[in-house]
Copies of this chain bind each other. A is one copy, B any other.
């Protein structure tokens, strides 16, 4: 078996109405790996950093049972950096800078021992690279993939080729509308699933997430939170919780997919409670299960008659 995670590792400079951090641990593969690590270890990471990537971040990932054999460290290179600023209501953010650095020439090489992984999570990177990853895999059986408007607009052909090969696509609502050229999300979901993925998940930020399969529509709320400190990484944490739970349960039934959406939403809610990856660093599995039960509490109803 094995769970492979490919994506970015970076140093984030984030400003919110509450605080500012510089060169904090970030990147899609980072958040996905940390979130997934609570369900089953080890998770296998493939990514690239520069020689400026702090040792403490490497240790942190190692402490979470992340197998770093596939982490390339480019001597003399600089790590990918991203800077963003969130507005007052936290739903809007401006990207202040993006320095690709070592990420610009990233060539994902999957170590021999990782190639038999049956579960694969492709974090949000260039679809050309996502395809390159899949080409190296022996016989992946469950592939989850994330993408963004930048690739939908700029690398449509490569993305469409990729979508034919993945089982689950996770995107947000505006990306779904863009990809399908259709404002109605239910219609858009059908059109996108025809492009390849059996399962589509549409993330809606503070409004939760929706799961679409052949016969299932499932709607999950976001966890109601008074204190959102830093939304960075919420979507990646969702993906990590989602695939982490499925990898652990070895059950891809509709019921299990629904539970995975709730576990994904749980990890996203932990993520945004603190700056950077802090919210994902010191959890117990008991806390994760508690959050899951919290979701049950806020969604359960029955006819009282």
Contacts and interface: CB of A to CB of B under 8 A. Distances in A.
Interface of A: 88-91, 177, 183-187, 204, 206-208, 210, 217-221, 224-226, 228, 249, 251, 253, 255-256, 258-259, 261-262, 289, 292, 295-305
A217 B298 contact: yes
Contact of A183 (B90, B183, B219): B90
A89 B180 CA distance: 13
Contacts of A262: 301
Majority secondary structure of chain A interface residues (helix, strand, loop or mixed): mixed
A299 B219 contact: yes
A218 B177 CA distance: 28
Contact of A305 (B206, B226, B249): B249
Contacts of A303: 259, 289, 292
Count of chain copies: 2
Contacts of A221: 208, 210, 219, 221
A255 B297 CA distance: 11
Given A184-B228, A258-B301, A292-B303, 9 more contacts: A91-B183, A207-B207, A208-B221, A218-B298, A219-B298, A220-B301, A253-B304, A259-B303, A262-B301
B89 A183 contact: yes
Contacts of A88: 183
Given A204-B207, A224-B217, A226-B187, A259 B298 contact: no
Contacts of A224: 185-186, 210, 217, 219
Given A207-B208, A208-B207, A304 B255 contact: yes
Contacts of A258: 300-301
A294 to B, nearest CB: 9
Contacts of A251: 304
A182 to B, nearest CB: 9
A228 B183 CA distance: 11
A297 B208 CA distance: 17
Given A219-B208, A221-B221, A301 B259 contact: yes
Nearest to A248: B305
Closest 3 pairs (CB-CB, A-B): A219-B221, A89-B183, A207-B207
A138 B62 CA distance: 70
B255 A301 contact: yes
A260 B251 CA distance: 34
Nearest to A189: B224
A186 B301 contact: no
A47 B251 CA distance: 57
A302 B259 contact: yes
A254 to B, nearest CB: 10
